[in-house]
Amino acid sequence: MIYRRKVNFYETDAQGIVHHSNYPRYFEEARGYYLEQIGYPYERVREELGIDIVLIELSVKYKKPLFYGDEFEIDFHISHMDRFVFSFDYRVKNKDGLIAEGKTVHTCLDRKTRKIVSIPDILRVK
Amino acid sequence: MIYRRKVNFYETDAQGIVHHSNYPRYFEEARGYYLEQIGYPYERVREELGIDIVLIELSVKYKKPLFYGDEFEIDFHISHMDRFVFSFDYRVKNKDGLIAEGKTVHTCLDRKTRKIVSIPDILRVK
Amino acid sequence: MIYRRKVNFYETDAQGIVHHSNYPRYFEEARGYYLEQIGYPYERVREELGIDIVLIELSVKYKKPLFYGDEFEIDFHISHMDRFVFSFDYRVKNKDGLIAEGKTVHTCLDRKTRKIVSIPDILRVK
Amino acid sequence: MIYRRKVNFYETDAQGIVHHSNYPRYFEEARGYYLEQIGYPYERVREELGIDIVLIELSVKYKKPLFYGDEFEIDFHISHMDRFVFSFDYRVKNKDGLIAEGKTVHTCLDRKTRKIVSIPDILRVK
């Protein structure tokens, strides 16, 4: 799936580039877009299923910087899923090529008990 | 009351200065410090009193920029309080003088009903 | 002009609502959109005109909260402009009505000298 | 080295915990503290040596959440250094034990040419 975005000024830092802490936020936006596209926006996951999706691992490799106003896309997909854990892989690209690669790993928690629950079927759609 | 702070790199933007959206965050830190100093940290306000303090107005006048690594202080106090509404005034200063002036206005909400409640006595301490 | 946006999860706080410090960021996005629409994106202002647009005043009145996933729009316009100073007024709205009102005041600085310069004609387009 | 910190309210999200994107920011604060402790704050690195330290890899494993008001410490050290690349390892802990583990990898860029340069001796202090 492709999620498109443009760099906001407040995402830059005094090196003149996007601060690295924004990439995990971009990935989160992409996951939100994914849930919308499969018809199950995260608001519904939280309220109807009573589940919080939590992030347990994050990794990013930064290849080239992004600058204010840059248009970029995140090419991403679910790269792993078992009963309790699933992962997304991300490739951030713009017209100049690969900007960054990332991976996030997630589990689902019951919002009341804060215990891990098995991943709901609705998230298993390919 | 004086709250002291140093600028973090991730708070700067591509103009090389602290992004203006961080000042409301600095003010919030100062208010948190205030609640700690009067012996009622915000965690206790939320949990023991069942109250959320919400911000209903914000204003800032920016006089000079802050840069990465700058040490600064916020000189602040409660400037108004009636039954339902209270205000803080802030003066951000560093060794070069006045950096910014700000004001925030707040009310208290019952965390369950989300209705405005009168300001608890504990916050009325001068 | 209308700028449309959706709330990102990372913009919420432990009160379950959009943290107030994001509204100045939304306003900045709206201004960026404005500059694009008049054909002069801020990258060009910075690079071709050698100018930084700086924010010298900010005010926001918060009427109702925004929640994760909420769609909203910012209805905004230039409300004042003289030789050195200009202002934007903003009204943040969603399907439930008015969420917040804001105002920002700006000047232009020469990026090298950091001195105030008169507002370039290109920004004077209505 | 130990860097101590307290959670700010604006760092929480609607799950009631610190948003994961803040951990890279905490790590950056720890690195800034490290540079101060060795007598070479990042402002000096940037201005005297003309070098930007850039982050090329980031990874975090999240074990337990942090909540608003939590006091925590980051136990961190340089775990690798060769001519062009160095790494920090971090362990985030509070009174309940291990919160998260992280690693960042960095290189140094000449601020003018944006080319990789060898790591300055001053950063080689143990």
Q: Count the neighbouring beta carbons within 10 Å of the beta carbon of residue A73.
A: 16
Question: What pTM value is reported for the model?
Answer: 0.96
Whether the per-residue pLDDT at B126 is higher than 80: the answer is no
Residues 12-51 of B with CB under 8 A from C: 15, 20-22, 24-25, 28
Whether the per-residue pLDDT at D122 is higher than 90: the answer is no
Which chains border D (3 or more CB–CB pairs < 8 Å)? Answer: A, B, C
Rounded CA-CA distance A48/D41 in Å is 50
CATH classification for the domain delimited by D2-124, as one of 3.10.129.10, 1.10.8.60, 3.40.50.10070, 3.40.50.1110: 3.10.129.10
Burial (0-12, 13-18, 19+ Cβ within 10 Å), A58: buried
pLDDT band for position A89 (cuts 50, 70, 90): very high
pLDDT value of residue D126: 58
Q: Which of D10, D51, D54, D60 to mutate to test the interface with A (most CBs of A within 10 A)?
A: D60
Residue written as tokens 């790591």?
Answer: D119
Backbone torsions φ then ψ of C38, nearest 5 degrees: -90, 10
Partner-chain contact D10 C16, CB within 8 Å: no
- Give the percent of chain D with pLDDT over 70: 98
pLDDT value of residue A60: 98
Model ipTM value: 0.94
pLDDT value of residue B43: 86
- Give the residue ranges of chain C where pLDDT is below 50: none
All structural domains of chain D with their residue ranges: 2-124
D63: closest CA of chain B, how far (Å): 22
Mean pLDDT, chain B, rounded, equals 95
What integer is the mean pLDDT of B4-31? 97
Helix (H, G, I), strand (E, B), or coil: what is residue A75? strand
Residue B3 host element (H or E): strand B2-6
Q: Which residues is B97 bridged to in the sheet? A: B94
Residue written as tokens 């924004």?
Answer: A22
What integer is the mean pLDDT of D21-42? 95
B20: closest CA of chain A, how far (Å): 9
Angle at C42 between CA C117 and CA C40, to 5 degrees: 95
For D61-119, write each residue's pLDDT tens digit.
999 999 999 999 999 999 999 999 999 999 999 999 999 999 999 999 999 998 999 99
Look at residues C58, C61, C41 and name the one whose alpha carbon lies nearest to residue C101: C61
Rounded CA-CA distance A103/A90 in Å is 6
Whether the per-residue pLDDT at D17 is higher than 90: the answer is yes
Q: Which residues is D52 bridged to in the sheet? A: D109
**Residue D110 catalytic?**
no
Backbone torsions φ then ψ of B77, nearest 5 degrees: -160, 165
A7 CB neighbours in chain B (<8 A) are none
C62: closest CA of chain D, how far (Å): 17
pLDDT band for position D124 (cuts 50, 70, 90): confident
